[in-house]
């Protein structure tokens, strides 16, 4: 059995678990958090109207302090990642209940660990946004470079390994389970690291195209959901990587000849 086959074997159905009444309320609460993140992102995109599309919203970090930037980045990650993380969170509740653990505190700690890792992942994005502000004309080539590097990452063993781990919640919990809120915090952080590793290429593309662009955010969120929760979702990684590399090459070529291709999805 290959790693991805094992991943599918240990990944219980997503939607069947949502039908159970005991999971309905927590699922709705988590989806409400994601919806709040989307509302914030759309509001910020409207405030950034008229800016350079490749540097709108959060990408123009020079106009933000670090705390404001990381708050916005974390809200954006909540919007995009919570739906794809629901299977793990709901399955954690089953594990906690069967072990007479404190489910509510554990879920909060699990989510806190996961979100903390994604918040930390915003630090290099903030550094990139500051560099784009002071580097001048050379910074115009950065989006093309990010697309190419992000696309190439889609073909790496690191991407594949992180995807296997973050798309198989049952296997993950069986191997990594620790009791109590502290154990849940650790679980969330480990899962967050795997998720960042799985999505790093997509995040590079999102930063290149406009971090707070709702259309690109939705595109990436759908891809992440498909990759993590749909059987065979891993098959989109290579075609998407090839498209990103092609887009980066075309964008770079347009900078050389002075044209500017449309980047709106």
Query: What is the rounded distance in angstroms from the CA atom of residue 15 to the CA atom of residue 34?
Result: 18
Check pLDDT > 70 for residue 221.
Answer: yes
Query: What is the rounded distance in angstroms from the CA atom of residue 111 to the CA atom of residue 201?
Result: 23
At 8 the pLDDT is: 44
Identify the band that residue 243 occupies on the pLDDT scale cut at 50, 70 and 90: very high
Query: What is the rounded distance in angstroms from the CA atom of residue 145 to the CA atom of residue 35?
Result: 32
- Residues 93-132 as b or e (16 or more Cβ within 10 Å = b): bbbbeeeebebeebbebbbebbbebbbbbbeebbebbbeb
At 70 the pLDDT is: 85
Q: Which residue has the higher pLDDT, 21 or 89?
A: 89
Q: Which residue has the higher pLDDT, 264 or 32?
A: 32
Residue 264 lies in a domain: no
Residue 103 lies in a domain: yes
At 247 the pLDDT is: 92
Check pLDDT > 80 for residue 90.
Answer: yes
**% of residues, the chain, pLDDT over 70:** 75
Residue 169 lies in a domain: yes
Check pLDDT > 70 for residue 16.
Answer: no
Residue 265 lies in a domain: no
Identify the band that residue 255 occupies on the pLDDT scale cut at 50, 70 and 90: confident
Residue 173 lies in a domain: yes
Check pLDDT > 60 for residue 261.
Answer: no
Do the beta carbons of residue 248 and residue 79 sit within 8 Å? no
Query: What is the rounded distance in angstroms from the CA atom of residue 79 to the CA atom of residue 63?
Result: 22
Q: Which residue has the higher pLDDT, 12 or 77?
A: 77
Do the beta carbons of residue 177 and residue 226 sit within 8 Å? no
Residue 213 lies in a domain: yes
The average pLDDT across 36-62 equals 61
Residue 37 lies in a domain: yes
Check pLDDT > 50 for residue 1.
Answer: no
pLDDT digits (tens, 9 = 90+) for 203-213: 999 988 877 77
Check pLDDT > 60 for residue 249.
Answer: yes
Residue 192 DSSP class = H
Check pLDDT > 60 for residue 63.
Answer: no
Query: What is the rounded distance in angstroms from the CA atom of residue 229 to the CA atom of residue 239?
Result: 18
At 244 the pLDDT is: 95
Classified as helix, coil or strand, 139 is helix
**% of residues, the chain, pLDDT over 90:** 32
Q: Which residue has the higher pLDDT, 37 or 242?
A: 242
Q: How many domains does the chain have?
A: 1
Residue 262 lies in a domain: no
Where does the chain have alpha helices with state H? 3-9, 14-18, 21-47, 66-98, 103-134, 142-153, 157-166, 169-176, 180-209, 214-229, 237-257
Residue 156 DSSP class = S
Q: Spell out the residues 6+ positions from residue 206 whose beta carbon is closer than 8 angstroms to its own.
A: 216, 217, 220
Structural domain boundaries, residue 120 = 3-257
209 φ/ψ angles, rounded to the nearest 5 degrees: -95, -15
At 214 the pLDDT is: 82
Query: What is the rounded distance in angstroms from the CA atom of residue 254 to the CA atom of residue 260?
Result: 5
Identify the band that residue 134 occupies on the pLDDT scale cut at 50, 70 and 90: low
């Amino acid at each position: 059995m290959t790693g991805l086959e094992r991943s599918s074997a240990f990944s219980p159905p997503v939607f069947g678990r949502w039908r159970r009444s005991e999971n309905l309320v927590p699922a709705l609460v988590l989806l409400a958090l994601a919806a709040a993140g989307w509302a914030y992102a759309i509001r910020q995109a409207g405030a950034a109207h008229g800016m350079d599309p490749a540097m709108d919203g959060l990408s123009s970090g020079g106009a933000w302090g670090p705390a404001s930037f990381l708050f916005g980045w974390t809200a954006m990650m909540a919007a995009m990642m919570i739906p794809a993380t629901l299977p793990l969170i709901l399955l954690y509740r089953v594990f906690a209940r069967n072990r007479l653990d404190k489910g509510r505190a554990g879920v909060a700690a699990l989510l806190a660990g996961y979100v903390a890792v994604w918040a930390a992942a915003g630090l290099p994005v903030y550094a990139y946004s500051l560099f784009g502000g002071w580097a001048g004309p050379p910074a115009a080539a950065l989006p093309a470079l990010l697309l190419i590097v992000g696309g190439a990452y889609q073909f790496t063993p690191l991407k594949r390994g992180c995807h296997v781990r973050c798309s198989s919640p049952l296997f993950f919990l069986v191997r990594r389970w620790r009791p109590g809120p502290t154990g849940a915090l650790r679980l969330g952080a480990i899962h967050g690291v795997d998720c960042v590793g799985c999505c790093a290429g997509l995040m590079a593309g999102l930063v290149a195209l406009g971090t707070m662009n709702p259309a690109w955010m939705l595109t990436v969120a759908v891809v992440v959901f498909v990759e993590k929760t749909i059987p065979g979702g891993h098959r989109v990684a290579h075609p998407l990587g090839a498209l990103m590399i092609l887009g980066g090459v075309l964008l770079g070529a347009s900078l050389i000849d002075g044209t500017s291709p449309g980047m709106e999805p």
